[in-house]
Structure 1
Amino acid sequence: MVTLKRTLLIFALGLLSQMISSCKNKLKNEEQAVNKTMVKKHNPVVYFEIPVDDMDRAITFYKAVFDFDFSKTIIDHNEMALFPFSDEHSGISGALAKGEIYKPTKNGVVIYFNTENIDAVLKRVLANGGQILYPKTSNGELGFVAELEDSEGNRIALHEAVK
């Protein structure tokens, strides 16, 4: 009788162990399915804002250095100068942003601007009151990078693809 009870107990424990393992696998599969549906079909960054203290000075700087045209607007009581954007081109766009919550800094997020010629851009940076923070440096087969300080004190990076 003790042997039969022991055998049944071992059988029940084995069955319970299989059930727990099956539940764990089912939960794992459901979690993986949820994670797959969370994978986005777009790049994660869609827009940026560069803080400025003096909007006219910042527009003058970015126009002189990159030849950008801006559209001025007010969004949530903040002054914005929108960078150019075209659906036909890859990448994202953003704005120069002036308002109480916007504080220029070299210690925050770094935005990379694409350029055909880092050397030419860095010359224009210096000619327009900016500074070079990190000189043109090879990034191997990815191209070249550099960093500058804009007219407002922000750290901005440059990328030049290998030609």
Structure 2
Amino acid sequence: MKPRINIVTIGVDDLERAFGFYRVLFDLPDEQISAGEDHVAFFLEGDLSLVLMERASLAETVGQGDAARGTAQVVLSHNAESPAEVDTILSDALRAGGSVHTPGTASEWGYAGYFEDTEGNLWEVLAG
């Protein structure tokens, strides 16, 4: 895995309120913002994006079920070159002592899996 962070996803309780805050704070043109039913993405400088996602959707996406206290608040994402690289990185995370929350799975966004490091921090590995 080439160590890089491409996307930071944070869980929010009120998507509309959080969107309003970051829209004013970042002052980005509409072309650098994308919204879905449960998330908003801000495309920042370089190859970095900040995604706001409803906390319940984030917990479900990473395989944590209900959005109870202690579920994902932040997910760091790494863009892989291919689905095979996603699977390799997930295997490496297991070998290093982490755990896989969600194995590599195809979705509308590409092929992704989620792992947890030894300290409980969540990572998404995505091949779009």
Give the structure-1-normalised TM-score.
0.37
Give the structure with the larger strand fraction: 2
Give the structure with the larger helix fraction: 1
**Larger relative CO (CA 8 A, sep 6+): 1 or 2?**
2
